[in-house]
Amino acid sequence: MSTQKTYRDRVMNLSSRILGPCDSQPVRSLTEALTIILAAICENVMAGTGHIPDPEHSTIEKCSVSVCFMAACTVPLISQLREGGQDVDAESLLHRAGQRIFERYGKEDQRTIVESGMFLFKELINEAPGNHKLQEWMGSVHNVTDKYVRTGGRTDCVDLFAPLYLVLLMATKQTGARPGMEKET
């Protein structure tokens, strides 16, 4: 029997580690584990940029940018799991994570936040082939997310998510600044 961990094992272990020893319920499914990981990443990046997921503090538009970032983090997770024979529905996963993160918003606002974030991510995907800086950014998100999972969250990767998120906020003009992800001429 092989002692090498599969990517699925790493996802399950990381989600349990995020929940900590205080949680009496073990993580039961891959979807639940991915939801926990994505919510933790998203909550961390929002905290690292002063973004509070509350209707009194953040617009639906700004929250949708965090879902876009979560979608970018989802790509390497789902890709690695598919290579291992695991199929995950990205849209359903993002809705589950969105419900967890944006619990202070009404159900309709939650749906709008998640769907707008997914739409924004699809726009980024369409822009990427002609935009070197955007490709670099997506590659960085991919690498940091993958390393975060492979190391069980025991690296400085968690500290690298917030700056990557800030670049996205600036690119979408949610901070009033521009990071330079605009298309090169």
Q: What is the pLDDT of residues 37-52, one digit of tens each?
A: 999 999 999 988 888 9
- Long-range residue pairs from 40-45, CB within 8 A, at least 24 positions apart, any chain: 41/70, 41/73, 41/145, 41/148, 41/158, 41/161, 42/66, 42/67, 42/69, 42/70, 42/97, 42/101, 43/101, 44/158, 44/161, 44/162, 45/69, 45/161, 45/162, 45/164, 45/165
Asked, for residue 81, whether it belongs to a domain, the answer is: yes
- DSSP letter (8 states) at residue 130: G
Asked, for residue 78, whether it belongs to a domain, the answer is: yes
Assigned token pair, 158: 């968690």
pLDDT band at 20 (very low <50, low <70, confident <90, very high): confident
pTM greater than the 0.95 cutoff: no
Asked, for residue 43, whether it belongs to a domain, the answer is: yes
Torsion of Cα atoms, 15 then 28 then 103 then 51, to 10°:
10
For the chain, the 3-state helix, strand and coil shares in percent, each to the nearest 5, are: 70, 0, 30
Asked, for residue 182, whether it belongs to a domain, the answer is: no
Asked, for residue 176, whether it belongs to a domain, the answer is: no
Q: Quote the number of domains for the chain.
A: 1
Q: Span 6-28, mean pLDDT?
A: 87
Q: Span 20-30, mean pLDDT?
A: 80
The residue segments making up the domain with residue 61 are 7-19+26-171
Q: What is the pLDDT of residue 23?
A: 63
Asked, for residue 117, whether it belongs to a domain, the answer is: yes
Asked, for residue 180, whether it belongs to a domain, the answer is: no
Residue 181 has pLDDT above 90, yes or no: no
Asked, for residue 127, whether it belongs to a domain, the answer is: yes
Side chain identity, residue 157? C
Question: What kind and span of H or E run contains 149?
Answer: helix 132-150
Q: What is the Cα 19 distance to its own chain's centre? A: 17
